[in-house]
Amino acid sequence: MKSKITMMLSGLLLTACMAKAQQGPPPGGQRPSPEEHLKRVTAKLDKDLTLTKEQSAKVTVAFKSFFESMEKVRKNGPPPPPPPMPPGDKKKLDSLTAIRDAAIKKTLTAAQFTKYKEIEKTMHPPRPPQGPPGGGPPPAPNKP
């Protein structure tokens, strides 16, 4: 009986390890290039929004400009993993996002834009939690 349970648990552990290995780099790893990100985002939007060629071209231009501007802002920022964004940079990124969305809104129908806003929320990975587990203050350094 114990050997059957041990074998089953070993099989589950092996399956979990293999699945984890196939997922690719862990979150917080190398960020995709703006070109790779643009390709992935436009492919998803083309598929999910069934864009016309003209709409697709305009959406691509809006996102390309957005990703290039984001890279410029990020190059001035700290190295990954970034701390919470400074308020000034956050305002810049919010402004860039508003410009991008305004360009996209002009291109899409109202129904497509509504669906785009839903999809857009799922296109960027969640940020890792900041600080220690439990949300309390960071631990005090140990003194000898």
CA distance 47 to 91: 31
Residues 55, 108 contacting (CB under 8 angstroms): yes
Q: What is the pLDDT along the chain (144 residues), one digit of tens a residue?
A: 555 555 554 544 445 444 444 444 445 556 778 888 899 988 888 888 888 999 989 999 999 999 888 888 877 776 656 567 788 888 898 999 999 999 999 999 999 999 999 998 888 766 655 555 455 555 555 555
Give the whole-angstrom CA distance, residue 33 versus residue 38.
8
Domain positions in the chain are: 31-122
Per-residue confidence (pLDDT) for residue 88, from 0 to 100 = 85
How much is the pLDDT for 20?
Answer: 45
Q: Which pair of structure tokens corresponds to residue 65?
A: 């400009």
132 phi/psi in degrees, rounded to 5? -75, 160
Q: Structure pTM?
A: 0.44
Residue 29 has what pLDDT? 57
pLDDT for residue 25: 44
Among positive and negative, which fits the CA dihedral 43, 49, 54, 60? negative
| Per-residue model confidence (pLDDT) at position 26 | 42
74-108 pLDDT, tens digit each: 777 766 565 677 888 888 989 999 999 999 999 99
DSSP-assigned letters across all residues of 47-62: HHHT--HHHHHHHHHH
The tokens for 115 are: 């669906």
pLDDT of residue 111: 94
What letter would DSSP give residue 33?
A: P
Cis peptide before 86 (omega within 30 of 0): no
Residue-level pLDDT at 95: 92
Tokens of 137: 């203050």
